[in-house]
Amino acid sequence: MPKVIGLTGGIATGKSTVSKMLKERGFYIVDADVASRKAVETGSKGLRQVEEVFGKKAILNGEMNRQYVGSIVFKDEDMRKKLNNIVHPIVREIMEEEKQLGLKKDKNVIMDIPLLFENNLQDTVDETWLVYTTKETQIVRLKQRNQLTDEEALSRIKSQMPIEEKKEMADVIIDNNGSLVDLTQNIETLLTNNFNI
């Protein structure tokens, strides 16, 4: 019986890397970020609804003007809710369809959801896997990856649910404090113990 696993992490913990590794090992990946882009792609009902709520400026070259919409929702909580009310139901629909497709193929499904715990979606999956690093590792990687200062890196990390809190909630912890070799080994061990892969 295939499993549905919710995969999450924090900023710069390496969730995308883990997702890629699991895909290479035969898991069916359903990515929330991909679904979010699909929800407002050119010609979609989501994009039409965004235009109705945010006006003509919200569309640029037939696509959502992310910069313009972002500048509004960043400052206005009410408009942010309106955007979420458009996008979230469509994203859930897309992800549910994808999940069913994976299960029909008799594959274990990874629901790659950055805000899994924040949006209380743990009940929609069989178990939750957290890609974990310490806050210190997050800061180092964020600074390297995005050329940020300590303060900038810290403020991005602080805008999310604390990683230690997520650690308490997750069923499985994938430690990614070490090298890529260590991470690969951790995933191999996890899959051997849980899936005989």
Give burial (CB, 10 Å; 0-12/13-18/19+) of 175.
middle
Is 45 among the annotated ligand-binding positions?
no
Residue 149 marked in a binding site: no
Mean pLDDT score of the chain, rounded to an integer?
Answer: 93
Question: Is 16 assigned a ligand-binding role in the annotation?
Answer: yes
Residue intervals of the chain classified under CATH 3.40.50.300 are 1-27+108-197
- Residue 115 DSSP SS3: coil
13 has binding-site annotation: yes
1-27+108-197 maps to which CATH number?
A: 3.40.50.300
Query: pLDDT tens, 108-167?
Result: 999 999 999 998 999 999 999 999 999 999 999 999 888 888 888 888 888 889 999 999
Q: Measured between alpha carbons, how far is residue 121 from residues 31, 38, 80 in Å? A: 14, 20, 20
Any known ligand binding at 178? no
Tell me the one-letter amino acid at 35. A
Q: Is 57 annotated as a binding residue?
A: no
Please state, in angstroms and rounded to a whole number, the distance separating the CA atoms of residues 62 and 157. Answer: 33
Cβ contacts of 168 within 8 Å, gap of 6 or more: none
- Per-residue b or e along 21-37, where b marks 16 or more CB atoms closer than 10 Å to that residue's CB: bbeeeebbbbbbeebbe
Q: Is the pLDDT of residue 46 over 70?
A: yes
pTM of the model: 0.87
